[in-house]
A and B are shown apart, each in its own frame.
Chain A
Amino acid sequence: MMTMISQLFILSSKGDHLIYKDFRGEAGNDVINVFYEKVTALPGDQPPVVMSHRDLHFVHVRQGGLYWVATTTSAGSSPFTIIDFLNRLAALVTDYCGSLSEKSVQMNFALIYELLDEVVDYGYIQTTSSDVLKNFIQTEAVSSRPFSLFDLSNVGLFGAETQQSKVAPSSAATRPIQSSRDQGVFVDVIERLSVIIGSNGAVMKADVEGEIKVKCYMLNCSEMRIGLNEEFSIGRSTLRGYGAAVHVDECRFHQAVKLDEFDDHRILKLCPSQGEQTVMQYQLSDNLPSPPPFRLFPTIERDNRGRLLIYMKLRCDLPPKSAAINVSVSVPVPKGCVSLSQELSSPEQRCELKPQSRSLVWTVPRCSGGTQLSAVFKLDVPGLSSASMLEVGPVGLTFELPKLTSTGLQIRFLRLTPVQPGPSQRWVRYVTHSDSYIIRV
């Protein structure tokens, strides 16, 4: 009745064997190919989570374009635990190798084997904490890209493209944790927003899932204190006075976080381990403090030439100083739609008809708060009937809100003890992603 990993392997997307480790001697390495055949033949509607081959069960995740696979023979094994573990392992490898790719795994195979030896013994998961592991790991990481502070291009927030990249040097956040040349701490507040707006404009559902991630390169930092908004409150019924209380329903903390100052001062205390950690996760359902960032006002009609006309007004309800970037509006269109012409309000906007997904995609690189964009789409649909008008919608939006949290959560301060000598960098970054933003028409 417990989780035992029999084998663990990492494959490239093409099925090349990158890492293979057998913990329990229960099956041969020929199962690697069995797995690859199975996973590539899997139909899209089948859950890829657990696959079986005789007595062996494969559990896998995809991270960094690679397959991370564990096998088990024990019925008591928890796929949930294994998936969680594989994700952690991928994060660990990222921490140690700086970035995650086929190349970095290949270059650091000795390091990864060493890691595997420590994180799993005889199939029992031991630890995934980089703090514990740093005592054991001997191999130096080989960085796949020479580290340069001046490398400001291709900036990402742990993989996500943001405008903030202009502020924080990306390569500083993607390097092996073992390298000690430069000290720094990155604190990221990342929120994912799911919204459903009904056809009558009513907000039917608005959820935020958020997390605070800390990526730490400090060698001698014994304690880190992160101050959140003082008016931060947790729980569905707690009402702390009036006004702009920052409120979440549920909150979970990393077990290394000490909460003795949390109740009174909203301070998270932790002893940061090297590498990336999710310090806090939180959720908020419905009562969002601000209106949803986008509203859509569509009008759908048929013109006298039998074409389908879709007028769209997209209003951005963000505060005037903020902006959404990489906005993409996807509108399902009737089957058999052959061509599209459009009138857009500015040249940097684009619109494209995607016949495979039966939708048109309108992209807006940047949309400032308080602005309103309008567009007209004319679609040629042979044999357009009133029923096919019903096939238009619901509209899905994807976008990114840099420097903004939907819950209003802010980091008041970030203090390190002992006070770090020399140049140390502390970065606090905020971003909200659209997870699933649906406007029904």
Chain B
Amino acid sequence: MQALANQLCENRQFGSKMTDSKYFTTTKKGEIFELKAELNSDKKEKKKEAVKKVIASMTVGKDVSALFPDVVNCMQTDNLELKKLVYLYLMNYAKSQPDMAIMAVNTFVKDCEDPNPLIRALAVRTMGCIRVDKITEYLCEPLRKCLKDEDPYVRKTAAVCVAKLHDINAQLVEDQGFLDTLKDLISDSNPMVVANAVAALSEIAESHPNSNLMDLNPQTMNKLLTALNECTEWGQIFILDCLANYTPRDDRESQSICERVTPRLSHANSAVVLSAVKVLMKFMEMLPKDLDYYGTLLKKLAPPLVTLLSAEPELQYVALRNINLIVQRRPEILKHEMKVFYVKYNDPIYVKLEKLDIMIRLASQANIAQVLAELKEYATEVDVDFVRKAVRAIGRCAIKVEQSAERCVSTLLDLIQTKVNYVVQEAIVVIKDIFRKYPNKYESVIATLCENLDSLDEPEARAAMIWIVGEYAERIDNADELLESFLEGFHDESTQVQLQLLTAIVKLFLKKPTETQELVQQVLSLATQDSDNPDLRDRGYIYWRLLSTDPVAAKEVVLAEKPLISEETDLIEPTLLEELICHIGTLASVYHKPPSAFVEGNHGVQHKGLPGSAGSAESESPDAVSAGAATEAPAAVIPSQGDLLGDLLNLDLTPPATTGPLPHSGGMQMGAMDLLGGGLDSLLGGDLGGSPAMGAGFGAPPAAMPPAFSAPVSGSLYDLFDLDNGVGMPLGSFCPPKTVWLPAMKAKGLEISGTFVRHAGVIQMEMTITNKAMSVMTGFAIQFNRNSFGLAPAGPIQVPSPLSPNQNIEVSLPLNTVGPVMKMEPLNNLQVAFKNNIDVFYFSCQYPISVLFAEDGKMERQVFLATWKDIPNENESQFQIKDCHLNSDAASNKLQSINIFTIAERTVDGQDMLYQSMKLTNGIWALAELKVQAGNPNYTVSLKCRAPEVSQCVFQSYEAVLKN
């Protein structure tokens, strides 16, 4: 390739006056020789042409360094054009010929004093570009002069030169005091000088993160804002980017900066516009939302963003990637601008896909009709990729805007009628999602779907169809025939389809047991005996045993009500989004990744390698997101039972998002798990010994399990249970020490101290009752006043009375949370009445709210994102935990012991961010972000909860467990 390119270049004539092609065809030696002769010619014109030829050769990659002395000889000339050419050559070869480069120094120094400012600037610019250490010491004096030159062109060139010199020798620059001179240039009268000084300082400051080089204070801000109005467009971009790093002191300053930046929004250069948008988006965060100005600003942002879309496709693409971020952060800005995102037929496909994504993000009840009409049109276009995305988008609309679901379904049915193969398949995949979101609502369409069974050739569509058949088996008369038809080629199907088919047939069997015994036998034996896939085998065995042990339990597990899927499946994590908003316009905003992810960081961030391409960086389809989430989530320390069961229930096919707390699913899943546990434990025991026990309703036993299988299989099952143990029944539950609740003095000799603990899902009130009186105590009873979470004794207190004097006894009282509710102050206050044969005593105690954290408090990642975004910022509270010396893994494990689950973990600039969720017994969810910085004993917890009053209590639990 390279050789070919060179060949082509060599054959090409360079320059009109170089028609004589022999320079490029003769041997290298001859060529160099002739050039040498010409360079030493007396005639200026000839010299100039010769230098041009040298540079032409240099450009195409030929080595002309041998001519260095001859070219340097041409340097002393009063012809500016020739001088520039020589300098161009010098910049290129000085590094490889450092000793020779010294030869040129004298001329440089002399040129720095030339009366012509162009020559002064040229000399200082070129000297800076000669990256040779030896030359730097000669550079200092001329540079110092040039920094104070009377001509602004020379000053701005010198300012840049400081940055160049700093890159070669930072110490020298500091020692020579150039940095101070550079800072002074920020106040220069010429805006071009200011812009370059700002650029140079910004770059130098980046390599000294702790210096106060770019000390942005109100005075410098004022200077910069003034220069902003007079600068060239490119200078304006430097200044705006620099402004974006400033943190205003208060909202008034923030507003005044916004006011001065706003005029940039109507600049003709769209790069200036985008930089201004970045500054405004950042400083807007500081403005109170009820401020009139805030509303005005929002309105002002829309038109320039729309205008960005009138540029070339490349710029449009970058603009759209940025708008995608802005829309997620502040959808209100563009909510009325849906039309500008309609695709044009001549848009490149990558622009079309971005537009589609933004359209879905902007879809709302108000504009859904419009959007759907558009999407339907797109679904009939020629470009297959685009059509697929359009069909998926219709499904996303249905899930996002409930009122539109019906219309979306009918649109999808229309599309299925086209019989265009890939349209039908995509439509079926999204209809399955719609069923998941709105169960039992649109089943009338199943008949239409079944008509298209034969045309499905993509695994995803086949799997979706099979899921639908299994899920609604009772309403499809010939469900067994349909599934049987798939079973014929079972081993040729992809794993996705096989797993789905297995589950669907088991579902069918549980719904219509009489006619389908043979079918289920067949699929179980295909899955367990003929397959090499461990997932398939394990799932097969679990079903098999479940069916054989306890068909009722099987029904409860397999046909359990599934959590609903959530609307937004591809939101960017809130903190990442905030970070990306700060990087609007930069590479990060195109990749949708934080800079640390693709640039060797100087913060010790692990280099994660570059994404293959910007397009694949963001997955469009919900399923791809789920796959991405699965691989990216090493932080999900232990899979929760939700994941495990979800897999059994085949949630893996659908976006793994579940909405909010479902009243049943939690308890149900726990119950189901126990059932499974008990049944399997005993079954496995029996299994190892001999033949498996068979359920009564379940025909013939399976061809006796090959013994070789039993051991590994049971092993893998135990593994599953280990996981479950780890989550559901933390062995080392956190238990605060007992405190005295009722001192003996106040209770006629009865002393009660106690604490609360949650163990295996049960809240226990652990008490030590001491008799310090002189007489025997009997007739103990306990009662709670109404309290915030409805805590109540689950049964009477068990004290083996009588209690003799000076005797104490440990009592453990199980509690439930179904008692009467009344809000207490503080929230976790509990008033207790305690009775014995002597009297009734009252005391109050406070329970750690962590005892109320349910075992199913692990939120799905996607739901977490959506919920976090959904809860208003006012509900967020922040706390500091001081003097904590755990690393993030240890902290995560400790918190898990009180059912605070880590959902995801991310490292940003050396800080570990843990995203955690917990669920109170009354269904309130609390979301947390825990920041742990290596070497810093102070953690920051940000809590978001729809009921913000619990935050304080939750925080106490964090503190208690982490410091324990």
Assembled-state Cα–Cα distance A258/B136 (Å): 45
**Residue of A16, A51, A142, A435 touching B344 (CB-CB under 8 A):** A435
Does B861 have its Cβ within 8 Å of any Cβ on chain A?
Answer: no
Does A15 have its Cβ within 8 Å of any Cβ on chain B?
Answer: yes
Q: Are B345 and A17 in contact (CB under 8 A)?
A: no
Does B614 have its Cβ within 8 Å of any Cβ on chain A?
Answer: yes
CB-CB under 8 A for A390 and B380, given A124-B238, A255-B267? yes
List the B side residues contacting A87 at CB < 8 Å: 312
Q: Are A76 and B241 in contact (CB under 8 A)?
A: yes
Does B881 have its Cβ within 8 Å of any Cβ on chain A?
Answer: no
List the B side residues contacting A241 at CB < 8 Å: none
**Residue of A20, A77, A255 touching B586 (CB-CB under 8 A):** A77
Q: Are A2 and B202 in contact (CB under 8 A)?
A: yes
When C-beta atoms are compared, the residue in chain A nearest to B307 turns out to be A250
Assembled-state Cα–Cα distance A136/B266 (Å): 30
**Chain A 68-106 interface residues, beta-carbon cutoff 8 Å to B:** 72-81, 83-85, 87, 106
List the B side residues contacting A50 at CB < 8 Å: 318, 587, 590-591, 614
Assembled-state Cα–Cα distance A20/B339 (Å): 42
**Residue of A33, A81, A142, A252 touching B267 (CB-CB under 8 A):** A252
Assembled-state Cα–Cα distance A436/B167 (Å): 49
List the A side residues contacting B61 at CB < 8 Å: 17, 29
CB-CB under 8 A for A391 and B380, given A17-B59, A49-B317? yes
Chain B's nearest CB lies how many Å from the CB of A302? 16
**Chain B 115-142 interface residues, beta-carbon cutoff 8 Å to A:** 118, 125, 128-129, 131
List the A side residues contacting B353 at CB < 8 Å: 45
Assembled-state Cα–Cα distance A339/B922 (Å): 70
Stretch at the interface among B182-190, B542-550, B594-602: B594-602
**Residue of A110, A114, A283, A435 touching B346 (CB-CB under 8 A):** A435
Q: Are B125 and A142 in contact (CB under 8 A)?
A: no
List the A side residues contacting B350 at CB < 8 Å: 45-48
- Interface readout for A359-392 with B: 1 if CB under 8 Å, 0 if not? 1000000000000000000000000010100110
Does A37 have its Cβ within 8 Å of any Cβ on chain B?
Answer: yes
When C-beta atoms are compared, the residue in chain A nearest to B386 turns out to be A45
List the A side residues contacting B131 at CB < 8 Å: 25
**Chain B 75-128 interface residues, beta-carbon cutoff 8 Å to A:** 80-81, 84-85, 88, 92, 95, 118, 125, 128
Q: Are A15 and B5 in contact (CB under 8 A)?
A: yes
**Residue of B5, B157, B203, B242 touching A4 (CB-CB under 8 A):** B203
Does A122 have its Cβ within 8 Å of any Cβ on chain B?
Answer: yes
List the A side residues contacting B945 at CB < 8 Å: none
**Residue of B85, B271, B314, B599 touching A61 (CB-CB under 8 A):** B314
**Residue of B160, B202, B267 touching A122 (CB-CB under 8 A):** B160
Assembled-state Cα–Cα distance A45/B2 (Å): 27
When C-beta atoms are compared, the residue in chain A nearest to B271 turns out to be A81
Stretch at the interface among B288-296, B416-424, B506-514: B416-424
**Chain B 552-597 interface residues, beta-carbon cutoff 8 Å to A:** 583, 585-588, 590-591, 595
Assembled-state Cα–Cα distance A297/B590 (Å): 42
By the criterion of a CB under 8 Å from any partner CB, how many residues of chain A are at the interface? 98
Chain B's nearest CB lies how many Å from the CB of A75? 3
Does A285 have its Cβ within 8 Å of any Cβ on chain B?
Answer: yes
Stretch at the interface among B229-237, B403-411, B435-443, B625-633: B229-237
Assembled-state Cα–Cα distance A36/B5 (Å): 11
When C-beta atoms are compared, the residue in chain A nearest to B378 turns out to be A394
Stretch at the interface among A125-133, A164-172, A261-269, A406-414: A125-133
Q: Are A79 and B587 in contact (CB under 8 A)?
A: yes
Assembled-state Cα–Cα distance A357/B351 (Å): 19
Q: Are B310 and A107 in contact (CB under 8 A)?
A: no
**Chain A 137-165 interface residues, beta-carbon cutoff 8 Å to B:** 138-139, 142
Q: Are B234 and A85 in contact (CB under 8 A)?
A: yes
Assembled-state Cα–Cα distance A84/B273 (Å): 12
Does A64 have its Cβ within 8 Å of any Cβ on chain B?
Answer: no
Q: Are A113 and B55 in contact (CB under 8 A)?
A: yes
Q: Are B345 and A47 in contact (CB under 8 A)?
A: no
CB-CB under 8 A for A83 and B160, given A2-B202, A46-B613, A387-B420? no
CB-CB under 8 A for A113 and B266, given A106-B12, A106-B14, A358-B382? no
**Chain A 14-58 interface residues, beta-carbon cutoff 8 Å to B:** 14-20, 22-25, 29, 33, 36-37, 44-55, 57
Q: Are A121 and B125 in contact (CB under 8 A)?
A: yes
CB-CB under 8 A for A73 and B587, given A80-B270, A83-B314, A436-B346? no
CB-CB under 8 A for A16 and B8, given A45-B349, A87-B312, A122-B160? yes
Does B274 have its Cβ within 8 Å of any Cβ on chain A?
Answer: yes
**Residue of A29, A79, A121, A250 touching B318 (CB-CB under 8 A):** A79
Assembled-state Cα–Cα distance A283/B339 (Å): 14
List the A side residues contacting B161 at CB < 8 Å: 122
Q: Are A76 and B80 in contact (CB under 8 A)?
A: no
Does A281 have its Cβ within 8 Å of any Cβ on chain B?
Answer: yes
When C-beta atoms are compared, the residue in chain A nearest to B240 turns out to be A2
**Residue of A17, A61, A72 touching B5 (CB-CB under 8 A):** A17
Chain A's nearest CB lies how many Å from the CB of B193? 11
Assembled-state Cα–Cα distance A107/B52 (Å): 11
Does A292 have its Cβ within 8 Å of any Cβ on chain B?
Answer: no
Assembled-state Cα–Cα distance A115/B150 (Å): 24
Chain A's nearest CB lies how many Å from the CB of B450? 18
Q: Are A113 and B611 in contact (CB under 8 A)?
A: no
Chain B's nearest CB lies how many Å from the CB of A330? 9
Does B155 have its Cβ within 8 Å of any Cβ on chain A?
Answer: no
Q: Are A110 and B203 in contact (CB under 8 A)?
A: no
Chain B's nearest CB lies how many Å from the CB of A190? 12
**Residue of A17, A25, A46, A73 touching B95 (CB-CB under 8 A):** A25
List the A side residues contacting B420 at CB < 8 Å: 387, 391
- Interface readout for B916-936 with A: 1 if CB under 8 Å, 0 if not? 000000000000000000000
Residue from A113, A249, A285 with most neighbouring chain B CB atoms (10 Å): A113
Chain A's nearest CB lies how many Å from the CB of B140? 18
Assembled-state Cα–Cα distance A52/B269 (Å): 26
**Residue of B52, B128, B192, B419 touching A385 (CB-CB under 8 A):** B419
List the A side residues contacting B233 at CB < 8 Å: 128, 255
Does B244 have its Cβ within 8 Å of any Cβ on chain A?
Answer: yes
Q: Are A122 and B164 in contact (CB under 8 A)?
A: yes
Q: Are B270 and A109 in contact (CB under 8 A)?
A: no
CB-CB under 8 A for A109 and B59, given A138-B81, A387-B418? yes
Assembled-state Cα–Cα distance A254/B156 (Å): 24
Q: Are A45 and B382 in contact (CB under 8 A)?
A: no
Q: Are B271 and A84 in contact (CB under 8 A)?
A: yes
Does A287 have its Cβ within 8 Å of any Cβ on chain B?
Answer: no
Does B315 have its Cβ within 8 Å of any Cβ on chain A?
Answer: yes
Assembled-state Cα–Cα distance A202/B52 (Å): 62
Q: Are B55 and A205 in contact (CB under 8 A)?
A: no
Does A239 have its Cβ within 8 Å of any Cβ on chain B?
Answer: no
Q: Are A205 and B587 in contact (CB under 8 A)?
A: no
Does A227 have its Cβ within 8 Å of any Cβ on chain B?
Answer: no
Does A117 have its Cβ within 8 Å of any Cβ on chain B?
Answer: yes
Assembled-state Cα–Cα distance A73/B192 (Å): 24
Chain B's nearest CB lies how many Å from the CB of A29? 7
Residue from A3, A54, A75 with most neighbouring chain B CB atoms (10 Å): A75
Query: Could you list which residues of chain B lie within 8 angstroms of chain A, going by C-beta atoms?
Result: 1-2, 5, 8-9, 12-16, 52, 55-56, 59-61, 80-81, 84-85, 88, 92, 95, 118, 125, 128-129, 131, 156-157, 160-161, 163-164, 167, 192, 196, 199-200, 202-203, 206, 232-234, 237-238, 241-242, 244-245, 266-271, 274-275, 303, 306-307, 310, 312, 314-315, 317-319, 322, 339-340, 342, 344-351, 353, 377, 380-382, 385, 417-420, 583, 585-588, 590-591, 595, 598-600, 610-611, 613-615
Question: Which 8 residue pairs across A and B have the least CB separation, nearest first?
Answer: A436-B344, A75-B595, A47-B350, A81-B271, A138-B81, A125-B234, A75-B599, A78-B585
Q: List 23 A-B contacts (CB under 8 A).
A: A1-B241, A1-B586, A2-B241, A16-B9, A19-B59, A46-B613, A49-B317, A50-B614, A75-B599, A81-B585, A83-B318, A121-B160, A122-B160, A139-B84, A142-B15, A254-B268, A285-B339, A285-B340, A387-B419, A387-B420, A394-B381, A435-B344, A435-B346
